[in-house]
Structures are given as structure tokens and as C-alpha cells.
Amino acid sequence: MHDPKSRDTKHINEIVHNTDAYMPVRATGPLHEPLPWVIELRVVGTVATIQVQVHEIMVIGRADPQKGIVPAVDLNPHNGQGLGVSRQHAAILVKDNRIYIKDLGSVNGTCLNGNLLAPQGEYRLRHGDELTIGKMGLQVRFTVVPTIGVSPKGTTGSLDAPVPRIARGETALVVEDDLDVAKVFHMALRHAGFNVTVVDSAASAIAYVSHEFPNLLVLELMLPDMNGLDLLRYIRKQPDNAKTRVIVCSGATGGWSIMAA
């Protein structure tokens, strides 16, 4: 148990505010509905991951049906009780296109990147952070997963929100090495009327544009073989690239990368 008076206890004294946001924002124009975003929590020391749909507030804790407690993130299946997780331990909040974490006055406390949170305080949560809920470590990842897939009967489902058809066979190249993210972009662009190609490296993208420039390029900045900005600079230096419009969608954690893009 964390003792607030202990010299070994380190609280976060200030809530960090800056311009780099990781929550999805509603796009302008025809695609006015948000894509399906989720938070993925990886249980440290195990192979288990927990994925939850992003909502305005999501309680983390342990389910107790007898008391009517059903948290959005239930840690009971991961030995939550043995690791000191309270029934209503903490909450993930969405405010102004940012995500925050708040300890709900739990018995064993909540830590963010090793720093003990003051109860009821709201602290910025980012991609790559690590939470400690009681004694359970959770690695935080913001990602997207397709909502088109398997229905309860095992058949192919459909989009939660219809995507307007804004293209008529124009080409779209998605450069993304995360399979789940690539699936979402492929799905949405295909429903929007694009002829979509997905590649997972800068080398494959360069091979594609050596034959044809796409009408639309969806680009991840953190690629396995090249910085996405370097790839974009390369493409912009090529002749006949004027028709290509670029959307940068990235898990890059630095505001500099966003500004440079």
C-alpha cells in the first residue's frame, strides 16, 4: 500500500498540458463520423491484452455483480483481487480530445510511469505510458481496430457508421506497419470508393510510386526502415507527384513530428 506521507512516495504535482493530442477527432467534410478507436492495455508480465472502446469515462476495477459494479476495464480475470485492485479503482476520462487518468480513492493507489497519483486528480495519459493499478502493471497503447469483421453468427459484419462514397476508383496508398491500423484505413477508404493498396514499409511505398503516384497517401511516420517524413520528402521531390494528397496518421509521441509533417 502506498503511504502518502512516506518519503519514498512521489506524487505528480502538475497535470501536463501540451498540444499533442492522441484522441481521435471528428474530421471535417464528408467523413464526419469518427473511426473506431480503442485503448489497448497490456498486462505486464503476461501475454494478456485488454482492448476497450473509447468512451467519455471508463472505470478500471473489479466486477462485483452482487453490488452492481461492472467496470469498463475489469481486471478480475487477471488476478486483480490478488494484486490489490479495488472494485472501482481508477477512471480513464476523455476531455477536449485528450485522455486523462484519475484515481478514484483506491486502497492501493494508482501510479503513472512510476509516479503516485493524488486521489481524484486528473493526469494526462499518453500512448506508451505505463499504469500501475494496485500492484498490476498495464502498458498503454492507443490504437484502432476494425469494427467490420465477425458478427455473433460468425459472418462478415459492417461498419458501425456508414462511410460516404467520396471517390470513384481513385487510388489510395496506405503506408502502415501496424496490421490493425492498416485494416481500418483499408476498410474505410474502400467503402469511400478508393482503390486501396496497403504496404508496411517505406521501401514498398517507393516501389509503388516508381510506377504510379496515388491520388491519396495515408502515411505513418514511424516505419521500420525509414522515417515517414523522409519518405514524404522523397515523394515530393519526384516529378508528377502534384496529384497526390497526403494524410499523416501516426502514433509518434513528439509534437515536433506533428509540426514537421
Which residues are within 8 A (CB) of 80 and not within 5 positions of it... i.e. 6 or more apart? 61, 62, 74, 133, 134, 136
pLDDT mean over 182-210: 92
Angle at 157 between CA 155 and CA 162, to 5 degrees: 160
Residues 136 and 177 both lie in one domain: no
pLDDT attached to residue 102: 97
pLDDT attached to residue 237: 93
Total number of domains in the chain: 2
pLDDT attached to residue 25: 37
Residue 202 lies inside a defined structural domain of this protein: yes
pLDDT attached to residue 144: 60
Residues 140 and 201 both lie in one domain: no
Residue 256 lies inside a defined structural domain of this protein: yes
- 18-27, 73-82, 181-190, 251-260: the lowest-pLDDT one: 18-27
pLDDT attached to residue 251: 66
Greatest mean pLDDT range, 180-184, 209-213, 239-243: 209-213
- Asked if pLDDT for residue 5 goes beyond 70, the answer is no
pLDDT attached to residue 15: 32
Residues 196 and 126 both lie in one domain: no
pLDDT digits (tens, 9 = 90+) for 12-60: 333 333 333 333 333 333 334 444 557 889 999 998 988 887 778 899 9
C-beta separation of 125 from 99 below 8 A = yes
Percent of the chain with pLDDT over 70: 75
Residues 46 and 137 both lie in one domain: yes
State the pLDDT confidence band at 197, using cuts at 50, 70 and 90: very high
C-beta separation of 139 from 90 below 8 A = no
Residue 10 lies inside a defined structural domain of this protein: no
List the one residue out of 58, 48, 52, 56 whose CA is nearest residue 79: 48
pLDDT attached to residue 254: 58
pLDDT attached to residue 255: 64
Residues 197 and 125 both lie in one domain: no
pLDDT attached to residue 22: 34
Percent of the chain with pLDDT over 90: 50
**How many CB atoms within 10 Å of residue 31?**
16
pLDDT attached to residue 162: 62
108 has which bridge partners? none
Please report, for the domain that includes residue 100, its CATH number: 2.60.200.20
Residue 47 lies inside a defined structural domain of this protein: yes
Helices 228-237, 202-209: inter-axial angle, 10-degree rounding = 10
Residues 47 and 88 both lie in one domain: yes
C-beta separation of 233 from 209 below 8 A = no
pTM above 0.75, yes or no: no
**How many CB atoms within 10 Å of residue 28?**
7
C-beta separation of 58 from 73 below 8 A = yes
pLDDT attached to residue 231: 94
pLDDT mean over 82-102: 91
Residues 139 and 233 both lie in one domain: no
Task: Please give the grid coordinates belonging to residue 166.
Answer: 467520396
The range of the structural domain enclosing residue 181 comes to 171-260
Residue 25 lies inside a defined structural domain of this protein: no
Greatest mean pLDDT range, 1-5, 133-137, 254-258: 133-137
Residue 28 lies inside a defined structural domain of this protein: no
Angle at 222 between CA 213 and CA 174, to 5 degrees: 30
C-beta separation of 124 from 253 below 8 A = no
pLDDT digits (tens, 9 = 90+) for 119-151: 999 999 988 899 999 999 999 987 764 444 433
Residues 130 and 201 both lie in one domain: no
Please report, for the domain that includes residue 245, its CATH number: 3.40.50.2300
Residues 41 and 140 both lie in one domain: yes
